[in-house]
Amino acid sequence: MQDPIFNPININKLEVKNRIYLPAMHLNMAENYAITDRLVEFYAERARGGAGMICVGFATVDERSGSPLNIGAHTDEYIPGLAKLAAGINDNGSRSVVQINHAGRYNFSFLMGGKQPVAPSPIASRLTKEVPQELEPDEIEEIIDHFAAAAARIKQAGFDAVEVLSGTGYLISEFLSPLTNQRTDEYGGSYENRMRFGLSIMRKIKAATGDDFPLIVRMNGNDFMPGGQGRKELQEYAKALEQNGVDALCINVGWHEARVPQIVTSVPRGVFGYLARGIKDLVDIPVIASHRINDPSTAREMIGDGVCDMVAMGRPLIADPFLPEKARTGREGEIVHCIACAQGCFDHLFKGKAVECLCNPKAGHEAEYRLETVESPKKVMIVGGGPAGMSAALAACECGNDVTIYEQADRLGGQLFLAAAPPGRDEFGELGRDLASQVAVNNVKVMLNTTVDRQLIETEKPDSIILATGAQPIALPIKGADLPHVVQAWDVLQDKVYTGKKVAIIGGGAVGVETALFLAEKGTLSGDAVKFLLVNNAESPEDLLELATRGTKEIVLIEMIKRIGKDIGLSTRWGMLQEISRIGVKTSVSTKALEITEQSVRVEIDGKTEEIEADSVVMAVGSASCNPLQEIVEKMGIPWQVAGDAGKIALAFDAVHGGFAAGRNV
């Protein structure tokens, strides 16, 4: 039976070899609008990996539509660079697309040399806090022309199709939504008028590029904005797009301001497929589903069950460019899955950096990090089988060295399985298993339940050692820290200890927040239980919401500084704090723990001493590097490196990338 993923599909008259669509992602790899070699190589690698169709962008249609950080498509001078990018994709076996867009009120004036953003109405967004300039009718017509001209350049550059971004809170969706469009002319008021701008763009593009040149629209299935546009109204827009010449629809969700998580690990795989299905039932053109479709089995089920015609896989192909080819050739067990952590992609964008990936150290460095076999292979001892150790082992092995991992626990993965314990974080465990699979596939030797000491090093006689021994939790040096009801967060997350009803967690960083979420889940209804009770009308939806979010414990999170979760990435933090509030965890910031008693934690708040009742106290105050072998190895005169938390406490991203650097530098 033919795998649904690998059935060819036509968009207009263009045949695509499979149903995997790499959607446009901002990568921060363009320079002053120009295509760079780094950008070309990034996408060429994904084409070599087997994606059926690759969309790049977004690309600008005029100077107020984006910034120099975007790919430029607003003047002819960018056509040669676009042509090079098209060739990099097409010559390696994929179909190529450019997404064009106008950011509207989501643009920042400082990125445009002080120019004011534009929008249908002068309404500021929570994202930028800037009031945009209201567009005049003649300016609207100019922007419509700019879209068409940019599409024509894309066709001239050799791309196979063009995509228009008509969602996510950008300019076209700003015209569509009553939240941002308060005009009283022909572009405002009724829904027909609010659709006019977007539909005019589609007709103009078709006129400029011809009926046979495929036009794709990426649109919201639901904008998740209170008072905005839900799925029913957007379904009508989808039908109108088809009637105005659009050849395929790619369905995404939410605006950047929406408070429904869309991209993080807590979002279930394929959960937004219902939005694509609702539109597919109403149109006769291909429909592409998006968001958190990070494995072939989810994609296969969605396509096979008629939820969608294609699947968009963006970050999954950052994590593993060869995911499509591995699925096609029966090697799905070798895929390194995106875990939606956002540490290297979205969090990097917030810092003005180019996109990288926790799971794939080579992402964004495809040419630079192409490893070569060493002339004189070495015997390499990796001490520690966490993310740093496994990453180091894989890089050293790829260079042709003889590599062995020594791990004192009974499995590889280390702290990844701690990170996977809280609800909605199990994807971190997936990475632990994926890296372990890569270790096995690459024939790296593994010694579990093995403690490395001087005697073992003398016996094995390695040429080089990488110390990736990780970290250990620390305790707060206060009176009462040794009482029997005081436990470590790591032990809580591993279900090694029990906690009482009233729990005080000392430490409001990432581990403290994760522990609070983990404990708050105790006693709540599972997803399966909620569905069973809901479909059988056993309880009201309101009661089910309460039962699904309120557990059996009363939790207080104590943090000495003014901010909870300061070490959590921006992409993830807001959702975790929203969840903390929703499930009733209390927080006490600017609070110093002074003493632990049998019934409470004595704290200082604004110079006053108070008591926080607790029959269990959890220490989540951080960890310290564990590196007991460095001094021994130094005295033995064996070349060594330190990777991961053994050298400096940091994020999982740093552990994987630091391990990779150590392995390639053996």
Residue 72, beta-bridge partner list: 60
Assess contact for 224 and 260: CB atoms under 8 A: yes
Q: Which two tokens stand for residue 532?
A: 């069973």
* CA distance readout (Å), 390 to 63, 203, 466: 45, 53, 11
Query: Is residue 334 classed as helix, strand or coil in its secondary structure?
Result: helix
Q: 21: Cβ–Cβ under 8 A, 6 or more apart, which residues?
A: 51, 52, 53, 54, 55, 250, 288, 310, 311, 312, 313
Angle, CA 35 vertex, CA 34 and CA 40 arms, to 5°: 175
Pairing of the two strands 161-166 and 95-101: parallel
The DSSP string of 610-655 is EEEE-SEEEE-S-EEE--TTHHHHHHHT--EEE-GGGTS---HHHH
Output the six-digit token pair for 494. Answer: 């591993």
Q: Which of 350, 368, 403 is the last residue of a domain?
A: 350
For 591, the 3-state DSSP assignment is strand
Distance, first Cα to last Cα, the chain: 46
Phi, psi (degrees; rounded to nearest 5) at 346: -65, -40
Distance (Å, whole) CA 96 – CA 53: 6
- Confidence band for 424, pLDDT divided at 50, 70 and 90: confident
Q: pLDDT digits over 530-552, tens only? A: 999 999 999 999 999 999 999 99
Residue 263's pLDDT band (cuts 50, 70, 90): confident
> Is residue 244 a contact partner of residue 199, using CB atoms and an 8 Å limit?
yes
**Claim to verify: residue 245 and residue 289 sit in the same structural domain:** yes
> Is 100 inside any structural domain?
yes
Q: What is the pLDDT of residues 284-336, one digit of tens each?
A: 999 999 999 999 999 999 999 999 999 999 999 999 999 999 999 999 999 99
Q: Are residues 66 and 204 in the same domain?
A: yes
Query: What is the reported pTM?
Result: 0.95
Q: Are residues 402 and 483 in the same domain?
A: no
- Specify the CATH number for the domain of residue 651: 3.40.50.720
Residue 606, classed as helix, strand or coil, is coil
Question: Residue 367: inside a domain, yes or no?
Answer: no
Q: 105 with 130: CB under 8 angstroms?
A: yes
Give the domain range for residue 459. 379-472+624-664
**Cα separation, 487 vs 496, whole angstroms:** 10
| Angle at alpha carbon of residue 612, lines to 611 and 615, rounded to 5° | 120
Please state, in angstroms and rounded to a whole number, the distance separating the CA atoms of residues 21 and 50: 10
Does any domain span residue 315?
A: yes
Stated as kind and residue range, the H or E segment containing 133 is: strand 133-134
Are the C-beta atoms of 415 and 514 separated by less than 8 Å? no
Over residues 497-524, mean pLDDT: 96
Radius of gyration of the chain (CA): 27
Strands 471-473 and 486-488: unpaired
Q: Which amino acid is at 210?
A: G
H runs (alpha helix) in 5-132? 37-48, 79-90
Work out the pLDDT band at 2, boundaries 50, 70, 90. Answer: confident
What's the CATH code of the domain at 148? 3.20.20.70
Bin 210: left if φ > 0, else alpha if -120 < ψ < 50, else beta: left
Domain boundary among 330, 350, 370: 350
Are residues 402 and 546 part of one domain?
A: no
* Token code pair at residue 240: 């109108």
**In this structure, are 250 and 292 located in the same domain?**
yes
| Lookup: tokens for 528 | 């399966």
Task: Return the residue matching tokens 């552990």.
Answer: 655
Task: For residue 68, tell me if it sits in a domain.
Answer: yes
Distances (CA, A) of 318 to 24, 324, 368: 12, 12, 16
With CA atoms as reference, report the closest residue to 250 among 189, 142, 161, 138.
161
Residue 77: CB atoms within 10 Å: 11
In terms of domains, do 610 and 650 share one? no
pLDDT band at 1 (very low <50, low <70, confident <90, very high): low
| Phi (first) and psi of residue 249, to 5 degrees | -125, 130
Distance from C-alpha of 68 to C-alpha of 251, rounded to nearest angstrom = 27
pLDDT tens by residue, 368-389: 998 888 999 999 999 999 999 9
CA gap 317, 360 in Å, rounded:
10
Query: CATH number, domain at 562?
Result: 3.50.50.60
Residue matched to tokens 């920042």: 108
Structure confidence at residue 604 (pLDDT) = 96
Is there a single domain that holds both residue 211 and residue 115? yes
Answer yes or no: do 497 and 519 share one domain.
yes
30 and 134 together in one domain: yes
**Do residue 412 and residue 542 come from a single domain?**
no
- Do 173 and 287 lie in a common domain? yes
Last residue within a domain, chosen from 299, 329, 350: 350
- How far is it, in rounded angstroms, from Cα 665 to Cα 396? 8
Helices H, strands E: what count in the chain?
22, 28
Strand intervals (E) in 152-293: 161-166, 215-222, 248-253, 287-289
* CA atoms of 327 and 525, how far apart (whole Å): 35
In the chain, the number of structural domains is: 3
Q: Could you tell me which residues come within 8 angstroms of residue 34 by beta carbon, excluding any fewer than 6 positions away?
A: 72, 78, 81
CB 404 within 8 A of CB 446: yes
pLDDT per residue as tens digits for the range 384-417: 999 999 999 999 999 999 999 999 999 999 999 9
Give buried/exposed letters for 198-208 (b at 16+ CB in 10 A, else e): bbbbbebbbeb
Between CA 566 and CA 163 the distance in angstroms is: 38
Say if 153 falls within a structural domain: yes
CA distances, 530 to each of 176, 423, 426, 544 (Å): 35, 16, 20, 6
Residue 633 to residues 82, 603, 612, 648: CA-CA distances in angstroms?
A: 52, 44, 47, 18
Residues in Cβ contact with 185 at an 8 Å cutoff, skipping those fewer than 6 apart: 137, 193
Would you place residue 475 in the very low, low, confident or very high pLDDT band (cuts 50, 70, 90)?
confident
**Does some domain include residue 76?**
yes
Which of helix, strand or coil describes residue 298?
A: helix
> 41: which 2 tokens?
């190589």
Separation CA 160–CA 651 (nearest Å): 40
Q: Is residue 611 part of a domain?
A: yes
Range from 367-376, 442-451, 453-462, 606-615 carrying the lowest mean pLDDT: 367-376
Angle 628-632-637 from CA coordinates, rounded to 5°: 140
Q: What is the C-alpha separation between 233 and 229, in angstroms, rounded?
A: 6
Q: How many CB atoms lie within 10 A of CB 76?
A: 11
User: pLDDT value at position 188?
Assistant: 97
* Bridge partners of residue 102, in order along the sequence: none
* 363 domain-assigned: no
% of the chain exceeding 90 in pLDDT: 94
Residues 196, 56 share a domain: yes
Mean of the per-residue pLDDT values of the chain: 96
Rounded to the nearest 10 degrees, the angle between the axes of helix 231-243 and helix 191-209 is: 40
